[in-house]
A and B are shown apart, each in its own frame.
Chain A
Amino acid sequence: MELSIASFVQIFVAVLLIIGLMVGNAVVMVYFERKGAGFIQRRPGPYEVGPWGTIQAVCDSMKLLGKQIFVPGNVDWILYFAAPILAFFPVLLLFLPIPFGPYLTGLKVDDGILLILAFAGFGVISNILAGWASNNKFGLLGAARAVSQSIAYEIPMILALLAVVFLSGSLNLSEIVENQGSWPWQWNIFVQPLAFFIYLVSMVGETNRAPFDLPEAESELTAGFHTEYSCMGFALFFLSEYANMLLVSFVCATFFLGGWRGPFLDGFWWTFIKAYVLMLFIVWIRWTFPRVRFDQLLNLNWRWLLPLAIINLWITAVAIKFFD
């Protein structure tokens, strides 16, 4: 890919749209998350601000922006302020290679999934920095948990994705989508159900969402690594959490659910519909399952997901060798 003015403009526009998507996504998802929590617990959720409480999330974010930036004593200033920025900006990059539609792709690269997996690690670095720099025992514990959890969940996640990569013979996300058909039974989920399941579990673990939200377990660690962040620092962590959720949902949609391919009319709407169904599923999971213990989390990963992913990958490789 040669760098021309046109490609710069393309990337610039893509980044702007992605920022818009991230912020809009956070506002919409906060609303649905709270409504979902309310409905599951048989109460109405946000109700008073705007019709059916729709403006509640906007008002909350305004309030958050208006708050004082409170910096605790003895923090490591550079790292303390670098952490939220480091949490937010790499996520922008991660959205670039996602094929939202046949033509709607920020950056068509041949090894898109490699880019995503490589930069996804930045999220954990920001968690470690935040926990370490804020000079708080809860923060530090949260950071330590974040590290071991992300190591644990990234490996089965990569192995599950690798099985699909073997099938399509490409690291390019657009090609992976094009290799799947329009109808649900032509999607990779039917060829690789086990990989889909493993990915589903590790995507919840990877985004630190309940029941795997140990790095920020409220009842144990106050707020874990972002205990000491207020105002914009917290807002950036919050945005990046929702952006990460959206990202893993998009990756899941492209890899297993046919991406922008769908019945009747292919197009970017299918990517969004699939991704948001997955997002709502993550919300549903959060309000259904209690948080796991830390040893349970690691056991689940190292003793079940990882061996299953390896076996799955092995079977896929053998099958491709013999039937192709």
Chain B
Amino acid sequence: MLKAIIDNIKGLYSLLVGLSITGRFLLSPRQTVHYPRKVIEPENMASYRGPLELVPGDPDPAQSRCISCQMCVRACPGHCLTVTKGASGKSPEVWLYDFTLCCLCAACVESCPTGAIRFSHKVYLVADSREALHLDLLGQLKSSAKQTS
């Protein structure tokens, strides 16, 4: 009986603690960003997982580091990736990525021996059809290399 009473008084105290926490949150500044008026700071984007992108190669940013080893293709639980080796050398000829199937699990990123893939930070990506989300990452890499140069 005494224990139950003490427990309940402790419980009441915990209710006050809860109220003080939400009360503090009530008065502290908001965290949400209003999209069209403001965008998220780049430093807050570091951990954001957008659709995959290929890491630009070292001497030539239009070239991928990929060696077409198929590790990522096998690791992917959603079968989103298609990598085809080119006729000459190890570099890939086709690097397709189906974002509609991707669960952003990072199995591919972790399994890649050369660190050729990473998550992009495209928060505001919008597509109007499924096909628009079947991405050609090699093409993207080439066009972005052209843009920066």
Contacts and interface: CB of A to CB of B under 8 A. Distances in A.
Interface of A: 36, 38-44, 47, 284-285, 287-289, 304
Contacts of A284: 19, 22-23, 26
Interface stretch (B27-35, B40-48, B80-88): B27-35
B124 interface: no
B8 interface: yes
A275 B64 CA distance: 67
B22 A40 contact: yes
B115 interface: no
Contacts of A44: 30, 32, 34
B30 A288 contact: no
Nearest to B18: A288
A40 B26 contact: yes
Contacts of B28: 42
Contacts of B26: 36, 39-40, 284
Interface residues of B, number: 16
B22 A287 contact: yes
Nearest to A41: B25
Contacts of A304: 8
A285 B22 CA distance: 9
B105 interface: no
A117 B31 CA distance: 44
B15 interface: yes
Q: In the A-B complex, list the 7 residue pairs whose CB atoms are closest, starting with the nearest.
A: A43-B32, A288-B22, A42-B31, A40-B22, A39-B26, A288-B18, A44-B30
Contacts of A47: 34
Contacts of B18: 288-289
A40 B25 CA distance: 5
A287 B25 CA distance: 11
Nearest to B20: A288
B136 to A, nearest CB: 37
A277 to B, nearest CB: 14
A186 B21 CA distance: 31
12 contacts: A39-B27, A40-B25, A42-B25, A42-B28, A43-B31, A44-B30, A284-B23, A288-B18, A288-B19, A288-B21, A288-B22, A289-B15
Contacts of B29: 42
Given A44-B32, A47-B34, A304-B8, A39 B15 contact: no
- B23, B26, B30, B32 interface centre (most CB from chain A within 10 Å): B26
Nearest to A288: B22
Contacts of B34: 44, 47
Most buried by B among A36, A42, A288, A304: A288
Contacts of B21: 288
Given A40-B22, A288-B18, A304-B8, 9 more contacts: A39-B25, A39-B30, A42-B30, A284-B23, A284-B26, A285-B19, A288-B19, A288-B21, A289-B18
A284 B15 CA distance: 12
A284 B25 CA distance: 11
A142 B31 CA distance: 36
B108 to A, nearest CB: 33
A304 B22 CA distance: 26
Nearest to A35: B26
B57 to A, nearest CB: 42
A39 B31 CA distance: 9
Nearest to B27: A39
Nearest to A300: B8
Contacts of A287: 22
Contacts of A38: 30
Contacts of B22: 40, 284, 287-288
Nearest to B28: A42
